[in-house]
Amino acid sequence: MKTLKHLDDWLIKNAPTPLKQKIFFTENLQVMIKSGLTLPEALNTLSLQVESRYFRKKISQIEKIIDSGRSLSSGLAKFPKTFSKFDCNLIEAGEISDSLEESLAELTACLKTDHELRSKIQSITTYPLIILVTIFGVSIGLIAFVLPKLLSLSKNLDQIKSLPLITRVLIAGNNFSQHHGLFIILILTILIAGIVYLTSSPSGQRRSHYVLLRCPIIGLLIEKINLARLTRIFSSLLRMNLPTIKALNITASAINNARYKQALNKIEKDIKKGISLAESFSSSEGKFPPLLVQLVSVGEQSKKLEELLANLADSYERQISNSLGDLAAIIELVLILILITWMGGVALAIIAPMVALT
């Protein structure tokens, strides 16, 4: 029984929570607090409505933490697999500034933006994945069933040498995989483990994020996604009248790309030294585009920084939508080329030799 209880406790803490459930939680919690319900009452009501069993138990535990006199942010922090550092920091800022409703509304908006972006990316990648899996499956079927028959038709070495080059390469590859299959699996396992290990370390993350930002098309899209998130969250936090340093700290916790996170942390340190926000952005070694740096400078002087950043965030989000549309068109074109090449290769490697040998 104790083992089952430990397992249940572990699942409650570590079981993933669907993003839609988080949106439902934050959105309805904000509505309930606005309508006058206390936090324990609102959490109790939500625990009866969420679909996920383990998320329901998480909410019940958060309710108990609040009943014991602790804050909502400390309750959320107990479940880091569900509520990120940014989530907790944003809620804590709302509690400190007595604007919890606004914090929940902002968190809901961020979660909805993330969900919308993920949905668009999934819609773009689902079709290519289906096509590639189909190509891979058919290729395995041809190698496993058709190629042996082709080899049986080739009675001697001279006949094999007379086959097209692409067919001989296919045969050689098949023979190598049969005799060295375990070696191939070992190499692939080591390669994947090495990539995971390198990208999990802080220095590895910085390098991998830097490489991704340098990739054609994808790099520009990643840059816009990070800048849109940065400007949207920073402007919202300033609108909540949070101090600039605190707003920068929370914004940095919301950014996943190591390059921009590092830049924001440096700007935060510069502000603490008395350097202006505009100077800090402009001295960030080209990590931010000139337009953002210029708007920060103008906004700081005109006292309309949050408004200008919100407008810039709108612009970035429109550009992301357009870029995703362009990316979908490019992927569709590449898939067509892959299909044509694959079909031509199959015809040349399998069908032509069979006709010639029979």
Q: List CB contacts of 236: < 8 A, sequence separation 6 or more.
A: 106, 109, 306, 310
The one-digit pLDDT tens for each residue of the chain (358 residues) are 566 666 767 777 778 889 999 999 999 999 999 999 999 999 999 998 888 888 999 999 999 999 999 999 999 999 998 999 999 999 998 998 888 999 999 999 999 988 998 888 888 888 888 888 887 787 777 777 766 766 666 555 455 566 667 777 777 777 777 777 788 888 989 988 888 877 777 777 778 888 888 888 888 889 999 999 999 999 988 988 889 999 999 999 989 888 899 899 999 999 999 998 988 988 876 678 889 999 999 998 888 999 999 999 999 999 998 888 888 888 888 888 887 887 777 767 777 666 655 5
Question: What separation, in Å, do the N-terminal and C-terminal C-alpha atoms of the chain show?
Answer: 69
Burial 229-262 (b: 16+ CB within 10 A, else e): bbbbbbbbbbbbebebebbbbbbbbbbebbbbbb
- pTM, two decimals, is 0.79
CATH T-level assignment (fold) for domain 123-358: Receptor-associated Protein (1.20.81)
Contacts of 216 (CB under 8 A, 6+ apart): none
Domain ranges of the chain: 2-83, 123-358
